[in-house]
């Protein structure tokens, strides 16, 4: 599952409106919609702003592998 799909699913599960999150994140609603539908790349700055708006850690949407001993 792509990061944008995880973010979209989380927003839906929490019952949030995309336009509210877009406004809180400072992302134009049309751009936010394009990101949430996979029509525009979600950049790190976008994810950061969305996570701040949702008050969650980016690790909720990104799998961070455990450190491997060398």
In a domain, 13, yes or no: yes
Domain count for the chain, please give it: 1
* Per-residue pLDDT tens digits for 29-50: 999 999 999 999 999 999 999 9
In a domain, 39, yes or no: yes
Confidence band, pLDDT 50/70/90 cuts, at residue 6: very high
- The structure tokens 């949702």 sit at 54
- The structure tokens 């990101």 sit at 35
In a domain, 65, yes or no: no
Please determine, for residue 1, whether its predicted confidence score (pLDDT) is greater than 90: no
Please determine, for residue 68, whether its predicted confidence score (pLDDT) is greater than 90: no
In a domain, 68, yes or no: no
In a domain, 45, yes or no: yes
In a domain, 67, yes or no: no
What is the per-residue pLDDT for 19? 96
* Per-residue pLDDT tens digits for 7-30: 999 999 999 999 999 999 999 999
Q: Tell me which residue range forms the domain holding 12.
A: 3-57
- The structure tokens 């455990």 sit at 66
Taking alpha carbons only, the member of 31, 27, 51, 49 closest to residue 41 is: 31
Domain containing 26 — which CATH number?
Answer: 1.10.260.40
In a domain, 35, yes or no: yes
């Amino acid at each position: 599952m792509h990061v944008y799909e995880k973010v979209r699913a989380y927003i839906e599960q929490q019952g949030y409106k995309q336009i509210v999150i877009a406004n809180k994140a400072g992302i134009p609603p049309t751009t936010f919609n394009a990101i949430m539908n996979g029509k525009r790349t979600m950049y790190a700055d976008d994810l950061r702003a969305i996570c701040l708006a949702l008050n969650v850690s980016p690790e909720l949407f990104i799998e961070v592998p455990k450190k491997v001993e060398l």
